[in-house]
């Protein structure tokens, strides 16, 4: 069974979490972090899109501060004054007059109710508002639900053409985005007064066939969300023509302004506290009467907002999970980010166009998060994993390679393919007579001599891009050509061997001067070089691992190092190494010998020095 990769696991986990949150949000009275952000995203689309075409048939008469200052009235106003305003509108030829004022209690002046009821009777069509008041009452251990209808007084019920409800229901983030289309008390069903106004203006029946998901109006089934219609706002507060109530009452506004129009009378003064946050602004609030104007225009123009079925949004999230997985296959971070950005922009553009021109509302946040997190988190995880792997490799190879070589290897090599067979040149070196030497020195002197020696030899190997395989007591093993495959690995090894040999003089003088090495002792090393194919890679256990090389050619270089004692020459090379360095170095054929582990003779050469080098830069024979 194929094992899932980490990016696949991360993407799948994100998809499961987001889909679970989307499904939880479908449950009644359940709020998730996605709900508020989805609502805010929808508001953003509404603000970005071109404003919808308004009917141009809705006008507002505002009960504003100017009118309070002009009349000197306090709220509630005398109904004789409201009657005067309605009479002016009737005279101007308003087609439908809607009054957003509760008429549940008698006026202090009985003539006021008579006058206002008469004004409604004279109107072409008029709509008033009712209220349904609910509360829970505990009687003993029993919870009772109380419902009360609050309707206009009897004279107004007879004179008004229609009566509708005007409840205000805010979303979870306290923004007014919708109107409750209907409510019911007993056998009485009330439609929102925006629908009653629109039906009178259009000359069609009131809405019917109410449900939580739709309502039938003007031969069309209108989509609802939990019994509410989304208001397709035309803009922020002030987009609808609004005239001061006092100016209308005094006849200062031309009659043509209201002729054949829907005129809504309602509070616009902040002191009456009928101001609401909308998708266009939570600070510059919109009067409730203007919210109704937006709702009426939504109905008149038929520019309804449609929420897609929940399964569509879930499918979007799944699709984004698949797309995120495909984008991750691009591997290179820059290409991954560009791919994600292109898909996101195309998807957002599609969502924007659907909303702006079709009124179709699709989920933005969950699919967008799926794409973003489904790409970014696995990419970041891979980056962290790769960085940890690089640090592990730096820690591991820091024992064998110079920092420059490690940087180059990490930047250019396939870190997953370290184990391989490759042609390399192997170097073995050993201190001649070290056992006898160590017997004549104290342990402290051995350490004081051996550590600087190994440090100096390691630096020389690093300078020629070699890999220090291991230290075995006084012996040094190194190889050239891996993990960075230099084609001139044999030359690099020969140069290293020569410099190691020449460096001994400087080290010896220091030890003599410091009294570490007795003057009668000659410090010398023997080096064997061989070129050929060998296995190079990581060998060991989880507790201890080494980057090393093994094979027959490795053994041959060790045998050549042993032969330096036989031929009393510090650097011996094989024929394979000779063939690759002969143009740069002077050599001398020594012998063809059968070494341990071989059945065929091996040609052995002395390394004498670089061609044309001075005498003090050439190899000198061992003194044994």
295 and 317 housed in the same domain: no
Give the pLDDT band of residue 416 (cuts 50, 70, 90): low
Residue 283 CB partners (closer than 8 Å, separation 6+): 277
198 and 338 housed in the same domain: no
Gap between the Cα atoms of 126 and 265, Å rounded = 11
Of the chain, the percentage scoring pLDDT greater than 70 comes to 92
Please report the pLDDT score of residue 1 as a whole number: 41
Pure H helices in 359-442: 365-397, 403-412, 434-440
Average pLDDT for the chain: 88
**Residue holding tokens 């087609």?**
95
The answer to whether residue 479 sits within a structural domain is yes
pLDDT tens-digit readout, 3-17: 455 778 888 888 888
The answer to whether residue 384 sits within a structural domain is no
Between residues 253 and 333, which one has the greater pLDDT? 253
316 and 293 housed in the same domain: no
The answer to whether residue 408 sits within a structural domain is no
The answer to whether residue 267 sits within a structural domain is yes
The answer to whether residue 409 sits within a structural domain is no
The answer to whether residue 51 sits within a structural domain is no
Q: Quote the number of domains for the chain.
A: 3
480 and 558 housed in the same domain: yes
Please report the pLDDT score of residue 143 as a whole number: 66
474 and 437 housed in the same domain: yes
Residue 608, pLDDT above cutoff 50: yes
Please report the pLDDT score of residue 396 as a whole number: 62
Please report the pLDDT score of residue 80 as a whole number: 95
14 and 72 housed in the same domain: no
Give the pLDDT band of residue 272 (cuts 50, 70, 90): very high
Between residues 355 and 624, which one has the greater pLDDT? 355
Residue 361, pLDDT above cutoff 90: yes
Q: Is 368 left (phi over 0), alpha (psi -120 to 50) or beta?
A: alpha
Summarize the confidence of residues 92-116 as an average pLDDT.
Answer: 93
222 and 336 housed in the same domain: no
Between residues 33 and 534, which one has the greater pLDDT? 534
The answer to whether residue 43 sits within a structural domain is no
Last residue of a domain, one of 277, 300, 323: 300
120 and 144 housed in the same domain: yes
Residue 529, pLDDT above cutoff 70: yes
Beta bridge partners of 549: 536
Please report the pLDDT score of residue 496 as a whole number: 96
pLDDT tens-digit readout, 227-270: 999 999 999 999 999 999 999 999 999 999 999 999 999 999 99
Give the pLDDT band of residue 286 (cuts 50, 70, 90): very high
457 and 550 housed in the same domain: yes
Q: Which of 497, 437, 414 is nearest to 463 (CA)?
A: 497
Residue 622, pLDDT above cutoff 90: no
Residue 526, pLDDT above cutoff 70: yes
Gap between the Cα atoms of 322 and 326, Å rounded = 6
Please report the pLDDT score of residue 397 as a whole number: 62
Please report the pLDDT score of residue 2 as a whole number: 46
Gap between the Cα atoms of 178 and 229, Å rounded = 5
The answer to whether residue 579 sits within a structural domain is yes
Please report the pLDDT score of residue 334 as a whole number: 85
Domain of 15?
6-29+308-375
Please report the pLDDT score of residue 521 as a whole number: 81
96 and 215 housed in the same domain: yes
pLDDT tens-digit readout, 509-519: 888 888 888 88
The least confident of 15-24, 26-35, 367-376, 381-390 is 381-390
Gap between the Cα atoms of 539 and 535, Å rounded = 10
Summarize the confidence of residues 386-394 as an average pLDDT.
Answer: 70
CATH no. for residue 586?
3.30.70.1230
Burial of 441-480, coded b for 16+ CB within 10 Å and e otherwise, reads beeebbebbbeebeeebbebbbebbbbbbeeeebbbbbbb
Between residues 408 and 390, which one has the greater pLDDT? 390
User: How buried is 357 (Cβ within 10 angstroms: 0-12 exposed, 13-18 middle, 19+ buried)?
Assistant: exposed
Last residue of a domain, one of 300, 323, 342: 300
119 and 21 housed in the same domain: no
Gap between the Cα atoms of 139 and 118, Å rounded = 44
The least confident of 252-256, 346-350, 439-443 is 439-443
Between residues 433 and 151, which one has the greater pLDDT? 151
Last residue of a domain, one of 359, 375, 391: 375
Residue 401, pLDDT above cutoff 60: no
- Other CB atoms within a 10 A radius of the CB of residue 176 amount to 21
Gap between the Cα atoms of 130 and 170, Å rounded = 19
pTM of the predicted protein model: 0.67
Asked if 539 and 508 count as a contact pair (C-beta separation under 8 A), the reply is no
576 and 467 housed in the same domain: yes
Give DSSP secondary structure letters for 1-47.
-PPPPHHHHHHHHHHHHHHHHHHHHTSTT---HHHHHHHHHHHHHHH
């Amino acid at each position: 069974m194929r094992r899932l990769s980490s990016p696949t696991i991360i993407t799948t986990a994100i998809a499961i979490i987001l889909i679970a949150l989307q499904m939880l949000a479908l449950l009644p009275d359940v709020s998730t972090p996605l709900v508020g952000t989805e609502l805010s995203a929808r508001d953003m689309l509404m603000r970005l899109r071109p404003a919808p075409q308004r009917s141009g048939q809705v006008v507002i008469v505002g009960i504003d501060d100017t009118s309070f200052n002009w009349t000197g009235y306090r709220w509630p106003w005398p109904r004789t004054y409201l009657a005067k305003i309605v009479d002016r509108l009737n005279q101007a030829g308003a087609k439908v007059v809607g009054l957003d004022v509760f008429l549940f209690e008698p006026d202090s002046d009985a003539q006021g109710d008579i006058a206002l009821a008469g004004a409604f009777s004279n109107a072409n069509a008029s709509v008033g508002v009712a209220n349904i008041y609910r509360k829970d009452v505990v009687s003993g251990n029993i919870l009772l639900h109380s419902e009360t209808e609050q309707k206009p007084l009897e004279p107004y019920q007879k004179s008004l053409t229609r009566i509708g409800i005007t409840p205000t229901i805010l979303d979870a983030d306290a923004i007014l985005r919708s109107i409750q289309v209907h409510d019911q008390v007993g056998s009485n069903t009330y439609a929102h007064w925006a629908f009653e106004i629109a039906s009178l203006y259009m000359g069609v029946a009131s809405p019917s066939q109410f449900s939580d998901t739709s309502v039938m109006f003007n031969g069309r089934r209108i989509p609802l969300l939990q019994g509410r219609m989304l208001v397709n706002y035309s803009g922020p507060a002030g987009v609808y023509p609004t005239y001061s109530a006092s100016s209308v009452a005094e006849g200062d506004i031309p009659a043509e302004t209201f002729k054949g129009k829907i005129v809504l009378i309602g509070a616009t003064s902040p002191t009456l506290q009928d101001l609401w946050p909308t998708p266009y602004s939570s600070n510059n609030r919109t009067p409730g009467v203007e919210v109704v104007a937006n709702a009426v225009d939504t109905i008149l123009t038929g520019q309804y907002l449609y929420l897609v079925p929940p399964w569509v949004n879930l499918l979007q999230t799944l699709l984004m999970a698949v797309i995120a997985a495909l984008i991750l296959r691009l591997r290179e971070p820059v290409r991954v980010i560009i791919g994600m950005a292109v898909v996101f922009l195309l998807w957002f553009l599609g969502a924007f166009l659907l909303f702006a021109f079709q009124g179709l509302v699709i989920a933005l946040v969950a699919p967008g998060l799926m794409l973003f997190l489904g790409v970014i988190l696995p990419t970041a995880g891979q980056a962290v994993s790769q960085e940890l792997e690089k640090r592990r490799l730096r820690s591991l190879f820091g024992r064998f390679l110079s920092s420059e070589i490690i940087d180059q290897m990490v930047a250019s090599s396939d870190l997953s393919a370290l184990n391989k067979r490759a042609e390399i040149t192997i170097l073995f070196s050993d201190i001649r007579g070290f056992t006898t030497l160590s017997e004549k020195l104290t342990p402290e002197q051995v350490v004081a001599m051996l550590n600087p020696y190994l440090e100096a030899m390691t630096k020389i190997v690093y300078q020629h891009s070699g890999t220090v395989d291991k230290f075995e007591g006084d012996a040094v093993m190194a190889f050239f050509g891996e993990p960075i495959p230099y084609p001139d690995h044999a030359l690099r090894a020969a140069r290293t061997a020569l410099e190691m040999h020449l460096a001994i003089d400087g080290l010896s003088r220091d030890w003599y001067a410091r009294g570490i090495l007795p003057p009668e002792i000659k410090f010398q090393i023997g080096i064997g070089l061989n070129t050929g194919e060998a296995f190079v890679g990581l060998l060991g256990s989880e507790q201890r691992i080494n980057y090393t090389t093994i094979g027959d050619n490795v053994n041959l270089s060790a045998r050549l190092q042993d032969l330096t004692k036989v031929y009393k020459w510090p650097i011996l090379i094989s024929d394979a190494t000779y063939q690759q360095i002969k143009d740069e170095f002077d050599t001398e054929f020594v012998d063809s010998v059968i070494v341990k582990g071989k059945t065929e003779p091996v040609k052995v050469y002395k390394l004498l020095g670089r061609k044309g080098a001075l005498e003090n830069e050439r190899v000198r024979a061992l003194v044994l």
